[in-house]
């Protein structure tokens, strides 16, 4: 895996902060009654493309929510451009993705709970003696 440069990390942080602010103020226009969290932003080395990972609260269909945000990506990019015009030469093209980290963590927790409840090999052998 290629490490991001300090410049990419710093720019990604700026984008994450500004996008969070945009979604906080105007997110209801894209997804009513849904809380959107920007969990991670990855920026290409030339800072022209940004992959934005989203997490949703209060939605039944996350795939549909991501599609809806992507449908408004040019509008969101315009609003972002107005906010970062003094900090960046180019406003990156935005692509939104679902951050399924929470779902993955929940799934792993369930697996670990299931493993913890199963009797261990040694315990069953000791009981047989």
pLDDT tens profile 44-54: 999 999 999 99
Condensed to tens digits (0 to 9), the pLDDT of residues 54-67 reads 988 888 888 888 99
pLDDT surpasses 80 at 120: no
CATH homologous superfamily, domain 6-100: K homology (KH) domain (3.30.300.20)
**Model confidence band, residue 125 (pLDDT cutoffs 50, 70, 90):** low
- Kind and range of the H or E run holding 54: strand 49-57
Q: Using CA atoms, how far apart are residues 43 and 8, in angstroms rounded to an integer?
A: 6
Residue 124 pLDDT exceeds 80: no
Give kind and range of the element (H or E) at residue 22. Answer: helix 6-30
């Amino acid at each position: 895996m290629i490490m991001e440069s300090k410049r990419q990390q710093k720019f990604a942080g700026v984008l994450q902060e500004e996008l969070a602010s945009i979604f906080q103020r105007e997110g209801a226009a894209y997804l009513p009654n849904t809380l959107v969290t920007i969990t991670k932003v990855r920026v290409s080395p030339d800072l022209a493309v940004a992959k934005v990972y989203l997490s949703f609260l209060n939605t039944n269909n996350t795939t549909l929510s991501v599609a809806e945000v992507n449908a408004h990506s040019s509008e969101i990019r315009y609003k972002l451009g107005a906010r970062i015009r003094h900090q960046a030469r180019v406003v990156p093209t935005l692509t939104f993705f679902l951050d399924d980290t929470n779902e993955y963590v929940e799934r792993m927790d369930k697996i670990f709970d299931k493993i913890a409840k199963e009797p261990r090999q040694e315990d069953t052998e000791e009981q047989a003696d």
